[in-house]
Chain A
């Protein structure tokens, strides 16, 4: 098949546009999930303060923080399209080569955050927080690269 020059040119332009827009989507996926993770980190702070007895137990605070964490995790989980590693991202390629394992980690973390929402007293709080924190830890251990800068 022979293509005319204008046809080739338009294909090239279309390719470039598509490529650039995909790159933009991926860059945004990284930015967005990074913001969500920062939000989780912020929401962990009042929980950590209660666990360290720097603040009194407050079911309302726990519920609000756990809800933010659960929602952010759910949104972040959808922001790992293939090829969105590299650059500033610390995502390990294992997220895509072992997608099942990664999905399980993310779902376990969400379940732990949901369980923490309905904690009513201090006795139930610490074990629930440890389960949630433990899921952050094991997922970061397996699927996050060391710091880059």
Chain B
């Protein structure tokens, strides 16, 4: 016969643990009242869309019939050592895309990593970088996405072990990860340098792959943009400091040409490991903005 105290422990300990887990992992959304009124600028929205290479991940699967590869209807598998993720449809389709999302829904997705229903996104969606984006920029980006042609393409749940529990557990990780600043401060550079730092680190989210992560899967800012293992599990992502130290790019003009053209003009190694789609996206960023990014990147050497 089980004694009463043992029985109480068997029931109570897990119950208390579950409540604590639920409380520690609770979502922390911004209220709708935090969203200020803003006249959206579609050109700024498109620049952010291109600088962030949204399409590089939110593309339809390769060769999917009936889905325009130039529209971010999502679904292309994104393999990682943790599991396979299927980026969401971010066209304004009402049923399967973001067509019904309010401004607050969009801002919470980008800056807090929260779905409109309050579930956590896995950080394969780089909200750790996007959280540093200005609110007005997020609203410009939303307006640009809303101006795209809607595509119907349902989003598939990630292939991750114990996915529902893991998803909830992301809340715990966020409590730690959100404490860190998004990127190390640099010299108090010119306005174009500041703009470049912002574009590279916030919408551009270069550090998501080019900065190594610590054992908690949080970016190690002591090695900011110093390269690391490839997120797909094989090979590595180069250190941007290393590329500059090896004088791979002769200056701002040269780096801008490299980002605009990649291997089309013979700039080596800008196409593998997923960089081709990113370079393709960057080629649509206005030149003045690319120059700002190049100015910042070259200052990292």
Which A residues are closer than 8 A to B by beta carbons?
Answer: 41, 44-45, 47-48, 51-52, 90, 129-130, 133-134, 136-138, 140-141, 144-149
Contact = CB atoms under 8 A, between A and B. Distances in A.
Nearest to A47: B266
- By secondary structure, the A interface counts as helix
A18 B73 CA distance: 51
B264 A147 contact: no
Q: What class of interface size applies to chain B in its complex with A?
A: 20 to 34
A48 B276 CA distance: 18
Contact of B268 (A41, A130, A134, A149): A41
Contacts of A45: 266
Interface of B: 230, 232, 234-238, 257, 261-274, 276-277
Contacts of B262: 133, 137
The residue among A137, A141, A144, A146 with the most chain B CB atoms within 10 A of its own CB is A146
* A52, A129, A141, A148 pick with most chain B CB within 10 angstroms: A141
23 contacts: A41-B268, A44-B265, A129-B264, A129-B265, A130-B264, A133-B264, A133-B265, A133-B266, A136-B264, A137-B262, A137-B263, A137-B264, A137-B271, A138-B271, A140-B271, A140-B272, A146-B230, A146-B232, A146-B234, A146-B235, A146-B272, A147-B235, A148-B235
Given A140-B271, A140-B276, A147-B273, A90 B265 contact: no
A144 B265 contact: no
Contact of B276 (A44, A141, A148): A141
